[in-house]
Structure 1
Amino acid sequence: MSIIYSKLTAIINRISDEFHKSFLFTIIFSILEFIENQWVNSYFKKLYPDEDFLKFLNKNQIVKHHLFNPLIVLLLFAAFLLLSLNSPSSSLVITLLLGFMAFFIGSSIFPKYFFNAANQNILKFEKRDIYSIGFCLILVSIVFFFVSVASVGGIPLLKPSIRYLLKPILTMPVFLIIPGICLVASSYLKDYQDNIITRSQARFRFAFLLILACGFLLLLGYRTPLLAAFLIIIVIGFYGNIISAWEVVIGAAIGVCAIVGIGYFRSLGEMTITSSTSPLYSLQSRADFTLHVLNLLDFISGNFGIAHGQLLASSIPGSELGPRMMVGKLIAWRSEVTITPTLIGQMVIDFGKVGVFVEMCILGFILGVGFKIMQKTKDYFYIGLYSLILTYSILGIETGILDIQVLFYFTAAILIYLTNIIKSES
């Protein structure tokens, strides 16, 4: 495995170096360096609130150490369910309680038995490799953005109706910009930790990466990836001491406003609501519909499920139906529609209540171990990795963890964490 990794990173480093040497990127990075220097030394930067702004948030120990604890997934899941206009069935309540209990056990109890020694033998990654991988992912996503826009003959944000003409095979690579900025931001965090760049420079680069990702994702008209970009930058910045607690609160508010606002204006453009309708209604109705879907899935799946792994396997490219299309076929007998089944939807369909308990425990354990490694090591890579899987766990509250690229992120995290567990126990 290490040989494959070495060969792959050698190729990616070569590609990254060649692009950095090219005339176009030399100009781009020169311009960015000039803007960065102007901002760092700008008088207007002094007008921006410092770290002591709303200092009660920075000094709060719960906020300081546990703001992005894995249990935030349960809190947000509960909040999403409360947004619904209707209530879950009694059977679904039992399923949810089992899932919540299992996640708590996996994230808060099991990790206590690992990484307790004073000196841990943690797997280390070269910053150059991480930066090059992230840089190449961003390049690939930008290329596919222009291919996607050209394929539908317009920008989906300006013409909402053409968003449904986008082909998943072209748009999925665009979303690689999310792990791309995650890895690049992590490498900038390493530079900050090693005193190669200042905190102001790191903050500028984080802001630029966020603007870059949000710009492309916003033009495609997608809300969920947009929120993913916000979350990843905020989590990395917070645990890397680049972003203050008050900025996290404001950033979270901006993210919520963005997802509500894009949904509202898109609904207006599609004439599914009127201008007199509450902006929150699109979010409430979406939560209500998703809960209704979950009620149906829980009813037909019982204690042991009906698909027995087929739904998760349908995420593999080349499958006749995608996972969300399979959900549509199960509850509506229509395979041409995609329906989001929430975080536990796949677990319910595949293995019922038993599956929810087991899989939520595994998910909690992955996040719990990642959180513990991150807190103990303060390593730039593990901060980035935790931010990535936490972000998609939070977004999966509605959509489920079903996309092949997201499953790959979790698989990579599992392999890395298991390797560290084996190394720490040896």
Structure 2
Amino acid sequence: MSIIYSTITSIINRISDEFHNSFLFTTIFSILSFIEDQWVNSYFKKLYPGEDFINFLNKNVILKNHIFHPLIVLFLFAGFLMLSLNKPSTSLVITLLIAFIAFFIGSTILPRFFFNDDFNIIQFERKDIYSIGFCLILVSIVFFGICIASVGGIPLLKPSIRYLLKPAFTMPVFLIIPGTCLVAGAYLKDYQDEKITRSQARFRYIFLLAMNVAILLLLGYRTPLLAAFLIIIIIGFYGNIVSLWEVVVGGLIGVGAIIGIGYFRSLGEMTITSSTSPFYTLQSRADFTLHVLNLLDFIGGNFGITHGKLLASSIPGSDLGPRMMVGKLIAWRTEVTVTPTLIGQMVVDFGKVGVAVEMLLLGFILGIGYKIMQKTKDYFYIAIYSLILTYTILGIETGILDIQVLLYFAIAIFIYFLNIVNSKN
């Protein structure tokens, strides 16, 4: 395994070095370096609020130390369901209780049996992680150009052409998210090693976020943009680059962005009028999602009906994607995609039993990742935890069903498993 890793990273490092040494990228990084210097030494930067801004937040121990504990998933899931004006069925209430209890056990209780003594984590070279992230961002930028060319315009400015985007072109664009995660992690390592200052690290995080906004927003995607936003905030928070008050304010801005983009997109698609409340789009999504979950719970019962086929439909080449399969199950319409929430796939595939097992496993993965991150403060494990927590949070509505997201979880599980085995030796 180490030979395969060494070979792959050697090739990727060479590609990264070639691009960095090219005239184009030398010029780009020189310009960015100049702007960074101006930023760091700017008088106006001193006007920005300091660490003690909104100081009462720092007095809350839970917020200050555990704001991104895995249990945040349960709080956000409950909050999302409460937005709905409809009530869940009695059967769904039982399913949700099973899900919440299983996740709590997996994320909070089971990790107590691991990594209690001193242990050596498997470490990754900063250069390798940066090069992988840099190459993923390059691929994303290339396919962004292909997407724009293929539909003949910018989807944000003309929402109707967004539906002409082909998944084969858009999926590589989303690689900017793990790419951003790894590059941000590498910058965190530089900050921890005192190679760059906190101000420099913050500037680079802002630039990474701006690049994500430019690419993902122009394509008209909200969820991937929110993923990039969350990743930057989580890495920055645990790396002491972002303050607690910035996390809270950033969270409010993120919610506002979801509401705002959804509202203006709905106006552009003429599904609502300008007199409609901006909050309506969020409430209607929660209403619809809860209605879908009620139906899926009724279909799935105690032991499920598809027995893994829904999850397997995430694999490229399947006749129907997972969300189209959900559409077929509840409405016999294969031309629409329906988001099934975090537990929708679990209950359809394996019923209430599947919900218990899969939520226990999901909680355990996040719980182990959180514990390793807290004990080691290692840049890579902060980055990998931020990636899987982000997609779990987003999966509250959409479900964890995209093949690339499943791949991220598979990689995280593999790395955590190796660390568990290594800690036992």
* TM > 0.5 fold call: yes
- Structure-2 separation of matches of 1:210 and 1:120: 34
Q: Which residue of 2 aligns with 1:227?
A: 226
Q: Which residue of 1 aligns with 2:261?
A: 262
Q: Which residue of 1 aligns with 2:72?
A: 72
Matches within 5 A, 1:273-288: 273-288=272-287
Cα deviation digits, residues 140-178 of structure 1 (max 9, x gap): 001111101111111010001111111111101111100
Instruction: Say whether the 8 Å CA contact 1:260–1:279 is kept in structure 2.
Output: yes
Q: CA deviation at 1:377?
A: 0.0
Q: CA deviation at 1:62?
A: 1.1
- Structure-2 separation of matches of 1:58 and 1:141: 38
Q: Which residue of 1 aligns with 2:302?
A: 303
- Structure-2 separation of matches of 1:19 and 1:272: 45
Q: Does 1:30 align with 2:27?
A: no
- Structure-1 separation of matches of 2:319 and 2:2: 35
Question: What is the identity, as a one-letter code, of the residue corresponding to 1:72?
Answer: I
Question: How many residues end up aligned between the 2 structures?
Answer: 425
- Structure-1 separation of matches of 2:299 and 2:202: 49
Q: Which residue of 2 aligns with 1:14?
A: 14
Q: SS state of the match for residue 418, structure 1? A: helix
- Structure-2 separation of matches of 1:75 and 1:2: 40
- Structure-1 separation of matches of 2:419 and 2:64: 26
TM-score (norm 1): 0.99
Q: Does 1:271 align with 2:238?
A: no
Q: Which runs of 5+ in 2 are unaligned?
A: none
* Aligned residues with identical type, % of pairs: 79
- Structure-2 separation of matches of 1:65 and 1:13: 36
- Structure-2 separation of matches of 1:277 and 1:62: 37
Give 4+ residue runs of structure 1 displaced > 2 Å after superposition.
none
- Structure-2 separation of matches of 1:82 and 1:251: 22
Question: What is the identity, as a one-letter code, of the residue corresponding to 1:127?
Answer: R
Q: Which residue of 2 aligns with 1:350?
A: 349
Cα deviation digits, residues 170-223 of structure 1 (max 9, x gap): 101111100111000000000000000000000000110011111110001111
Q: Report which stretch shifted further, 389-398 or 142-151.
A: 142-151
- Structure-2 separation of matches of 1:37 and 1:120: 40
- Structure-2 separation of matches of 1:277 and 1:387: 35
Q: Which runs of 5+ in 1 are unaligned?
A: none
Q: Which residue of 2 aligns with 1:180?
A: 179
- Structure-1 separation of matches of 2:239 and 2:40: 19
Q: SS state of the match for residue 295, structure 1? A: helix
Q: Does 1:156 align with 2:155?
A: yes
- Structure-2 separation of matches of 1:96 and 1:3: 44
- Structure-1 separation of matches of 2:55 and 2:289: 39
Matches within 5 A, 1:354-369: 354-369=353-368
Matches within 5 A, 1:1-400: 1-117=1-117, 119-400=118-399
- Structure-1 separation of matches of 2:213 and 2:290: 29
Q: CA deviation at 1:60?
A: 2.6
Question: What is the identity, as a one-letter code, of the residue corresponding to 1:27?
Answer: T
Q: CA deviation at 1:405?
A: 0.3
Question: What is the identity, as a one-letter code, of the residue corresponding to 2:154?
Answer: I
- Structure-2 separation of matches of 1:157 and 1:6: 41
Kindly report the root-mean-square deviation, in angstroms, between the aligned alpha carbons of the 2 structures.
0.6
Q: Which residue of 2 aligns with 1:422?
A: 421
Q: CA deviation at 1:55?
A: 2.0
Question: What is the identity, as a one-letter code, of the residue corresponding to 2:206?
Answer: A
Cα deviation digits, residues 260-282 of structure 1 (max 9, x gap): 10000000000100111010101
- Structure-2 separation of matches of 1:132 and 1:113: 35
- Structure-2 separation of matches of 1:58 and 1:16: 40
- Structure-2 separation of matches of 1:5 and 1:214: 32
Cα deviation digits, residues 19-65 of structure 1 (max 9, x gap): 00000000000000000000100100000011111122234321121
- Structure-2 separation of matches of 1:234 and 1:59: 20
Question: What is the identity, as a one-letter code, of the residue corresponding to 1:417?
Answer: Y
Q: CA deviation at 1:85?
A: 1.6
- Structure-2 separation of matches of 1:241 and 1:138: 24
- Structure-2 separation of matches of 1:24 and 1:67: 41
Q: SS state of the match for residue 231, structure 2? A: helix
- Structure-2 separation of matches of 1:256 and 1:146: 28
TM-score (norm 2): 0.99
- Structure-1 separation of matches of 2:241 and 2:83: 33
Instruction: Say whether the 8 Å CA contact 1:58–1:244 is kept in structure 2.
Output: no
Q: CA deviation at 1:92?
A: 0.4
Instruction: Say whether the 8 Å CA contact 1:344–1:400 is kept in structure 2.
Output: yes
Q: SS state of the match for residue 243, structure 1? A: coil
- Structure-2 separation of matches of 1:123 and 1:65: 25
Question: What is the identity, as a one-letter code, of the residue corresponding to 1:397?
Answer: I
